[in-house]
Amino acid sequence: MSLYTTIHLHNVTSGREADYAQWFDGEHREDVGRLRGYRSADRYEITPEQVMPDIPQPWRYMSVYEFDHPRPEIDLPALGPLLAEARDAGLTDDSAESERIHSYAMYSDWVSSPNHRTDKPFSGVSIILANFVAGREAEYHQWYEEVHGPEVTRVPGKVAMKRGRLSPIQIEPRRYCPGSDLVFCAQQTDDLLFTVKDFSARARGVSPSGIAMAPRSSAGSVARTVHYFRKISGAEFWSDGIAYDGDLSVYPADFARPAG
């Protein structure tokens, strides 16, 4: 068995948002649930809180499909016709050819930090379409596994991470993907702005917590895009504060919210 994640980055036709949601949580979820190796399917919407706000965000929505495929070469393409149903029904807007479907062979399942509350759902996720510097792949993976992954998932509100490599098996329409690797990070927070600001502050060594991240490895390419999404599918949402195993009292009262 092999763990695979397929992300569907898309826009919904104006005025059809309710129709798309009904389709996804109804017949589509039932159809996907019958595919071999199915684990989960969830919908997300782009958030105004972004750690790199100058990066374009061409998609309003992302659907994430998780599988443990017995035969990826047979099973992975089976999702394609089910995604095509929304396109054929006019539920998705691809007038700018922005739709992207990217499938990844995952290196592992979720690796959680002490922040993760397993009895609560994820409130959202972030994705990085990432690359490593040619000839330094082993160093890149070691940095993520031993240094960067643990420090990222200990930021208040961030709880787990998993990563994968772009699969040679892809679903049509096959379009350009800017990253060879996926960095998939999960959140449990009702204050994403706090999480994003403290992530940035820790990376720059100026967090009120006093925690500073290690210098970014030069094995990680700067050619990457970062996108934050909130979960909009399912009945459960995070509504119980920020998941963090440390002491939030060290943060100024106005750290998460701009004055005024």
- Residue 31 φ then ψ, to 5°: -65, -45
Q: Specify if 259 maps to a domain.
A: no
What's the pLDDT score for residue 254?
75
Using the predicted structure, report yes or no on whether residue 50 has a pLDDT greater than 80: yes
What's the pLDDT score for residue 249?
87
Structure confidence at residue 1 as a pLDDT band (50, 70, 90): low
Using the predicted structure, report yes or no on whether residue 11 has a pLDDT greater than 80: yes
Q: What average pLDDT does the segment 1-21 reach?
A: 95
What's the pLDDT score for residue 237?
57
Structure confidence at residue 259 as a pLDDT band (50, 70, 90): very low
CB contact at 8 A, 23 and 37: no
Using the predicted structure, report yes or no on whether residue 21 has a pLDDT greater than 70: yes
Residue, of 78 and 95, whose pLDDT is higher = 78
The one-letter amino acid code at 61 reads Y
Q: Specify if 257 maps to a domain.
A: no
What's the pLDDT score for residue 241?
84
Beta strands in the chain (DSSP E): 2-10, 38-46, 61-69, 100-106, 111-112, 124-130, 158-166, 181-187, 225-231
How much is the mean pLDDT over the chain?
Answer: 94
Structure confidence at residue 223 as a pLDDT band (50, 70, 90): very high
**How do residues 200-218 score in pLDDT, each as one tens digit?**
999 999 999 999 999 999 9
What's the pLDDT score for residue 253?
80
Using the predicted structure, report yes or no on whether residue 9 has a pLDDT greater than 80: yes
Q: Specify if 256 maps to a domain.
A: no
Q: Specify if 156 maps to a domain.
A: yes
DSSP string covering 94-105, please? -TTS--EEEEEE
Q: Which residues share a beta bridge with 105? A: 4, 165
C-alpha–C-alpha distance, residues 115 and 155, integer Å:
8
**What SS3 class is residue 11?**
coil
Report CA 106 to chain centroid distance, whole Å. 13
Range of the domain at 45: 2-244
CB contact at 8 A, 185 and 158: yes
pTM score, whole prediction: 0.94
How many Cα atoms are found within 13 Å in the side-chain-facing hemisphere of 59? 24
Using the predicted structure, report yes or no on whether residue 15 has a pLDDT greater than 60: yes
Residue, of 173 and 236, whose pLDDT is higher = 173
What's the pLDDT score for residue 247?
86
Q: Specify if 221 maps to a domain.
A: yes
202-210 long-range contacts (CB < 8 A, ≥24 apart) are 202/151, 202/155, 208/250, 208/251, 208/252, 208/255, 209/246, 209/250, 209/251, 210/250
What's the pLDDT score for residue 62?
98
CATH of the domain at 131: 3.30.70.100
Structure confidence at residue 189 as a pLDDT band (50, 70, 90): very high
What's the pLDDT score for residue 260?
35
Q: Please state the domain count of the chain.
A: 1
Q: Specify if 253 maps to a domain.
A: no
- DSSP at 24: I
- The structure tokens 């096959």 sit at 174
Q: Specify if 43 maps to a domain.
A: yes
**How do residues 89-147 score in pLDDT, each as one tens digit?**
999 999 889 999 999 999 999 999 999 999 999 999 999 999 999 999 999 999 999 99
Q: Specify if 218 maps to a domain.
A: yes
What's the pLDDT score for residue 234?
75
